[in-house]
Amino acid sequence: MNKKINEILSWYSSENPGILRNLYRILMQGELGGTGKMVILPVDQGFEHGPARSFAPNPAGYDPEYHVNLALKAGLNAHAAPLGSIQTIATKYAGQIPLILKANSHDTLDISGDPIPAVTASVEDALRLGCSAVGFTIYPGSSNFKQMYEEVKEAALEAKRNGLVVVIWSYPRGSGLSKKGETALDVVAYAAQIAAQLGAHLIKVKPPSSHIEKEEAKKVYEKYEIPVASLTDRIKHVVQGAFNGKRIVIFSGGPAKGRKEVLQEIRQIREGGAFGSIIGRNSFQRPEKEALDFLGEIINIYKE
């Protein structure tokens, strides 16, 4: 075990050997194995946004097997997906790549202002399918926060008892926030802190904007002159919010956008001290050859 991986695992010293084994496996998988950085392919968009919106740009993506193959060929650290997709691939690809079972889900057919994800899989499912981790989404800013946090607390406890890594997608939204506030720096940093306090081993958030949503927070940012201008500075601040960088924080790729724009963003994310990226639509909506080349560029950025 190299010095960097040993340091990261030391931050989780209260956890049992099963968790440390699975976390080690994710950190040591693929092209970035052993660097302390990671790139993960998440494909929950079919459930979250609908099949046509997710897969019509590259119809091969309608098949869950396409995604696990893409993750393997690209040399990624892990692949995350909901129950149905994982069940489709788990036996054939057992042991080839760490799998993250997305255990709760939301869909865009719900137009309420305060979303709450449904529990759609269990820790038992994750164990049965040989997964290394279970993932949960929370929506800080939703009036349903209490139910979400309590559900995640109970499920995370069961996952940890069984040696599984806990991943939290912490995505602010709901009646407590403006649309602009969903990616505001103060809100994203708060979301990372909430996920860390809920016991996440690995936290996924969106790249933050320079907007400060809450007036009380704005006073503090101004008083202590917290840098907000560059994405690099904002990433540093979000990572700092997750126990001063002692929890693994990775950043989403966001809505589909141009290749050059994504790569510029990835460079700033890396420079800000993030542990990596979790890239969905911006990879699997491209034809396979283009997607592999694109993911290879992202991996090389994190290797620098």
Domain range list for the chain: 3-303
| Sign (positive or negative) of CA dihedral 233, 236, 241, 244 | negative
Marked catalytic residue, from 102, 204, 206, 236: 204
Average of per-residue pLDDT values in the chain: 96
Residue of 189, 300, 207, 285 lying closest to 250 (CA atoms): 207
Active site residue 171: yes
Q: Determine the pLDDT at residue 256.
A: 59
Mean pLDDT of 217-243: 98
For residue 20, give the H/E element and its range.
helix 17-28
Could you count the other beta carbons within 10 Å of the beta carbon of residue 104? 22
Tell me the pLDDT band of 255, cut-offs 50, 70 and 90: low
Topology of domain 3-303, CATH: TIM Barrel (3.20.20)
pLDDT of 240 > 70? The answer is yes
pLDDT of 23 > 90? The answer is yes
Active site residue 204: yes
Read out DSSP for 53-115? HHHTTSGGGGSHHHHHHHHHHHT-SEEEEEHHHHHHHTTTTTTTS-EEEE-EE--TT---SS-
Tokens of 284: 């699997």
Q: Is 282 exposed, middle or buried (0-12, 13-18, 19+ CB in 10 A)?
A: buried
Mean pLDDT of 34-49: 95
Marked catalytic residue, from 24, 139, 171, 302: 171
Tokens of 114: 């305060």
pLDDT of 13 > 90? The answer is yes
- List, for residues 99-131, the tens digit of each pLDDT value: 999 999 999 887 778 989 999 999 999 999 999
Contact 67, 43 (CB under 8 A): yes
Q: Determine the pLDDT at residue 110.
A: 79
Strands (E), the chain: 38-42, 78-82, 99-102, 104-105, 118-119, 133-138, 165-170, 202-205, 248-252, 276-278
* Model confidence, pTM: 0.96
Three-state secondary structure call for residue 169: strand
The torsion angles phi and psi of 80, rounded to 5 degrees, stand at -115, 140
The torsion angles phi and psi of 36, rounded to 5 degrees, stand at 85, 0
pLDDT of 258 > 90? The answer is no
The letter for the amino acid at 22 is: N
Tell me the pLDDT band of 254, cut-offs 50, 70 and 90: low
The letter for the amino acid at 148 is: M
C-alpha–C-alpha distance, residues 110 and 106, integer Å: 8
C-alpha–C-alpha distance, residues 141 and 157, integer Å: 23
